[in-house]
Every structure is written in structure tokens, then in C-alpha cells.
Amino acid sequence: MRSVEGVTKENPSPFLIELQDVRKVYPVQGGEVVALNDINLKIRRGEIYGIIGLSGAGKSTLIRCINRLDSPTEGRILIDGQNVLEMNKRQLRSMRRKVSMIFQQFNLLMQQTVEKNIRYPMEIAGVPRAKISARVKELLKIVGLEDKAKVYPIQLSGGQRQRVAIARALASDPEVLLCDEATSALDPMTTQSILKLLQEINRELGITIVVITHEMAVIRQICTHVAILDGGVIAEEGSVDEVFTHTKSAAGRRLFGIVAPESEEVRLESGTPPVRLVFDGEQIPEPVVANLILKLGLPVSILSANVRSLNGKQYGQMIIELPEDPVIRKTAMDFLRQQGVAVEEVHP
Amino acid sequence: MTWDKIWPLLWQGTQDTLLMTIPSTLLAYVLGIPLGVLLVITRKDHILPHPTFNMTLGFVVNLLRSIPFIILLVMLFPVTRAVMGSAIGTVPIIFPLTVSAFPYVARMVEGSLLEVDGGVIEAAQSMGSSTFQIIRKVLLPEAMPSLVNGFAICITTILAYTAMAGAAGGDGLGKYAIAYGLNRREYTMMYAASICLVILVVLFQFLGTKVSKMIDHRRR
């Protein structure tokens, strides 16, 4: 029997990682704090899955549960159909060789050279010496640091250190790469280059990547799917395009800057909700808002605008205010839709 | 006392002092490193959490450390005699010195290992390292500069103990300073022996700092 892509007989699920009813509770004096609650996630083989949330949302705890650096209080975490919560120490170690991780602070061995850092995962797995040396060369090439083998981490920039960490993470031929705020300590330019590298790794090596971040740009740039984590629960989940263009949750709106929390009350008082225009990467030849004003003669005020060019496409959003008259509003919104812009009213 | 009598005594004393200090320090490290490692890894937020064990071990180490060396030396006389064949002299004194120093060494090692960044340990765990692999390939190598610094402090402390041991059956510079200098009022001898001890301390400390800096790769 031929197997469908990513589906084998032993593991009939297309999902490489599944979190089922995961709950994590920390005991504190006089009670408990719920860090994660009712988390259900399915991550497909070969995708780049983003988990976004503000700090304190529980995203670091969540990603640490996947490779059991942390343990949930309840629930099931399946990797390739195997529940990591039922693994013994030996099984856990071999699972961790298939599920690599990179960190915000890189976490390199500071007393060892770049080469020794990359050798480490292979040495502990008992790979023969000759094989290790050849593999180190390959890995250095993948991350573009061929000339840095004998250098100590202190002599490298943040971006270069993260590249070493990525090479080290790839050394054990993993199926999954977990990225815990991997670009948060880097400047925007370096962030771009690391994100590109992650994308290449995903495409060329077929490694499934799980990204934890608080930056929307990271999600929009490389992720295929996204889950929004808010206060320990998943507020919203779906494909990045879907979630971005039709944001449903309040947490999502906050993260995308659709609703500035402090202005919510003002909008409720005025009665008519503002309107959100989303540019989701489609080519829009005309200056839409200018046309709206000129052609329909409407008084439009722009409340906020944030449009950026990513991968050569226009992404972003604009929040505008339209007159109260429902007929005029409908005309204006239809006009905008004709121009290829996604339009929706924002209900705080 | 004339200098032609003092010089040979100083030379003999220095040799005896080193003969007591160096083996005692090494033996104290043989015991102190595993204990220091255990004190660290069994902490509740470390790689092999075991709070009860950690508390018990910490208590025993503190207990041993709180007995002043000179008293421990006397208390151990029967044990030292049983183990080393004699309770006095250069070689037998290694036993009480080691017993007295290893809890101190354990605490020094503990301090050095605690300096290792938790993130690096977490990374090693995430790569599927065993506890022993983390100790041998991450904790100890990453803490090495600090461990060497600690070694210099320990060896100078033990050097000071040997001088104290000179008052109760020990040998070396300490004994000469006390026996000749203090008891026979040969103050030249006392100062000369003391200066030799100071030179040894300064030398060990200097070497320790130097080596620690040399092997530390956290500098550009």
C-alpha cells in the first residue's frame, strides 16, 4: 500500500505533533496559578507553526511541554503518535534527539569552539568521530559559518551565535525544530536573515518548525499556521492568512493592533464601529482610500494604518471611520471590496 | 640562630609544607568535586532534583565545616593513628587535613557550578543529554575558570591549615615558626618561616588567577 504524503501505516495521522487537553497548573501559596488550560493543537508535518502571545501568555511553558523540559499537569502530548508524557528517561532522550530546540539567548557552550558546540549532540549520541567531523562541515555550510569553526562564541555576533545554535540543533537530524523566541534578542536585519534560514531549513530539509514569538512580523513572514495564546488558553487558531484577515478574538485584535485597548470606550460611545481594511498580499494598483474619498466624496478619517511590504507583497491594515448612515457605509464598504481589500467592521 | 642554620630549615620546611598541602588538596578535591556536583544537581530547580537529599547533604557539609581545624585535628588523633599508622608527622597529617578541607572544597565547587548559565544546561537537556553527560561535558567544563580560581583559594587555605597543624604534631614551616620562633624566642626564624608561607600563598594565588584567565574563553 502506498502511503499518502506524510502518512504512514504506523502513524495514520498527518499531524506530527498533537496536544490534547493540555493543562498546566503551578501551585502557589494559598492556591494555584493556571499557566495553560484546555490546549488543543495539531501541527502538521512540514509546516511552520507559530504560537504568538504577549509575555505571560504561557507560550514558553507550552513549547517546553512539547519536549518535556516542562511537564503539563494534565493532557496528552503526542509526537509521531507517541505520548511524551508516558516516556521513560531513555525514550525521552531519544525523542529529544528528534525534537531540537533553539533559544532566545542561544545557550551555547561558551568555553567551547563553534565546532565543539556543533559536535556536542553527536558526541552524546555516540556518532563515530569521522562521521561527526564530516557532518560538522556540512552543518557549518548550511548556516553559512564555514570559516568560524575554530572560533569561540564570544567572538561572534548575536546572529552568528544563533546560526551556531541552529547548526547544533540540526546535528541530530531532527524532525522538529522548536524555536523559543529565537529572534527576540536580535536586531531587525539579523531577524530577517535568521527567519530566511529557518524557512530554507523547513523547505530543503523538510523539518517541521514550531515558532514561539510575541512579534506578529515573525508569524506573517514565515508561518503557515498560527495559534494565538492569551492568558493560558488558545484564543484563536488557523492558517495565518485566515487568522490575519478575519481576526475573531480580542487577543488577536490586540496583537494585530486592530483595537488599541485605551480607545475602546470611545468607540462604544460613538455607536458606529470603525472599519478595518486588510491588505493581505494581493496587488492593489490604486490608492484605495484616496479613491474612496475622491470618487464617493465621503469624509473618511484614518484612525491607524500599518502597511508593510513583506516578500514583495503588501501586508497590513488600516482602521478608518466612516459616516454613520448605514446606506453610505454599505456603499463605501462595497467599493473597497471591489478594489480587492478585505473589509470588516471592528466590534470591540 | 644564624642564617646558615635558618636556610636549611626553611628549605626543609617548605618541602614538608608542600608535601602536606598538595596531596591534601588533591584528595580533598577527589571527595569535594562529587559532593559539590551533588549539592548542585539535587537542588529543586536543577537536573536531578532531590530536596531531601540536598538538605541532608548540605547539613552534613555545614556540620563538618563548622568544626575548627585545630580541634578536628586533635579529635581525629585516634582515627589518624588507625588509618595512617601514626598521628604526627608530615604524611599522617594529610588525613586530618583532607577531612577538614573536603567539605570546604565541596562548597567551593558548588559555588562555581552554580555560576553555569541555566540556559546552557536546558539546551543540553533539550538535546537528549544524560545527567552524567551534562555534568562531564557541560557543568564542569563551563565552570572550569571558576573552579581553577576556587582551587587557588582552597590550596592557600589548606596551606594555612598546615601551619596550624604545626602546633599539634604537624610538620613544615608552621612547626618551625612555632617550635623555634615562638617557643624558643628565635624571632628571626619565626618571621623567616612566616614570610616563606606568605610567598607560597601569593604564588599559588597568582598562578590560580593566571591559569583561570588563560583558560577562560569568555573574553574576546
Question: What are the residue boundaries of the structural domains of chain B, listed by start?
Answer: 21-170
Beta bridge partners of A17: A43, A79
Identify the three-state secondary structure at position A236: strand
Listing DSSP states for B52-77 in one string gives: HHHHHHHHHHHHHHHS-HHHHHHHTH
Residue A218 has pLDDT above 60, yes or no: yes
Nearest CA to CA, how far is A108 from chain B (Å)? Answer: 6
**Which of B120, B129, B218 is the closest to A124 by Cβ?**
B129
**Which of A97, A107, A111 is the closest to B128 by Cβ?**
A97
> Which pTM value belongs to this model?
0.84
Q: What is the pLDDT of residues A4-16, one digit of tens each?
A: 444 455 556 789 9
Q: How confident is the model at residue A74 (pLDDT cuts 50, 70, 90)?
A: very high
If residue A100 lies in a helix (H) or strand (E), which one and from where to where? strand A99-103
Write down the pLDDT at residue A180.
Answer: 96
Residue A97 has pLDDT above 60, yes or no: yes
Radius of gyration of chain A, Cα coordinates, nearest whole angstrom: 23
Residue A154 has pLDDT above 90, yes or no: yes
Grid cell at residue B94: 594529610
Nearest CA to CA, how far is B53 from chain A (Å)? Answer: 21
8 Å CB contact of A107 and B218? no
Radius of gyration of chain B, Cα coordinates, nearest whole angstrom: 20
Grid cell at residue B123: 539546551
Tell me which of A308 and B56 has the higher pLDDT.
B56
Q: What is the pLDDT of residues B36-95, one digit of tens each?
A: 999 999 999 999 999 999 999 999 999 999 999 999 999 999 999 999 999 888 999 999
Residue A316 has pLDDT above 60, yes or no: yes
| Interatomic CA distance for residues A280 and A343, integer angstroms | 11
Q: How many CB atoms lie within 10 A of CB A198?
A: 24
Q: What is the pLDDT of residues A14-69, one digit of tens each?
A: 899 999 999 999 888 888 889 999 999 999 999 999 999 988 888 999 999 999 99
Helix segments in A236-276, DSSP class H: 240-245, 250-255, 264-270
8 Å CB contact of A69 and B137? no
| Interatomic CA distance for residues A161 and A183, integer angstroms | 11
Q: Does A157 touch chain B (CB under 8 A)?
A: no
Domain ranges, ordered by start, for chain A: 15-251, 268-345
Residues 6+ apart with CB under 8 A from B71: none
**Rounded to the nearest 10 degrees, how much is the dihedral formed by the CA atoms of B49, B51, B55, B61?**
-10
Grid cell at residue B214: 588563560
For chain A, the average pLDDT equals 87
8 Å CB contact of A124 and B133? yes
CATH of domain A15-251: 3.40.50.300
If residue B213 lies in a helix (H) or strand (E), which one and from where to where? helix B187-215
Is the ipTM reported for this complex over the cut 0.85? yes
Beta bridge partners of A83: A78
| Interatomic CA distance for residues A96 and A84, integer angstroms | 10
On the 0-12 / 13-18 / 19+ scale of CB atoms within 10 A, A194 is buried
| Interatomic CA distance for residues A102 and B83, integer angstroms | 53
Identify the three-state secondary structure at position A313: strand
Q: Does A168 touch chain B (CB under 8 A)?
A: yes
Q: Which residues of chain B have pLDDT under 70?
A: 220
User: Which residues in chain B have Cβ-Cβ distances shorter than 8 Å to A154?
Assistant: 217-220
User: Which residues in chain B have Cβ-Cβ distances shorter than 8 Å to A96?
Assistant: 125-128
Tell me which of A291 and A271 has the higher pLDDT.
A291
Nearest residue to A15 (alpha-carbon basis) of A63, A80, A112: A80
Homologous superfamily of A268-345 = ACT domain (3.30.70.260)
Q: CB of B138 within 8 A of CB of A117? A: no
The sign of the torsion formed by the CA atoms of B76, B78, B81, B86 equals positive
The sign of the torsion formed by the CA atoms of B176, B182, B183, B189 equals positive
Listing DSSP states for B151-179 in one string gives: HHHHHHHHHHHHHHHTTTT--SHHHHIII
8 Å CB contact of A101 and B145? no
**Number of cross-chain residue pairs from A and B with Cβ atoms under 8 Å apart:** 78
Q: Does A15 touch chain B (CB under 8 A)?
A: no
8 Å CB contact of B128 and A168? no
CATH of domain B21-170: 1.10.3720.10
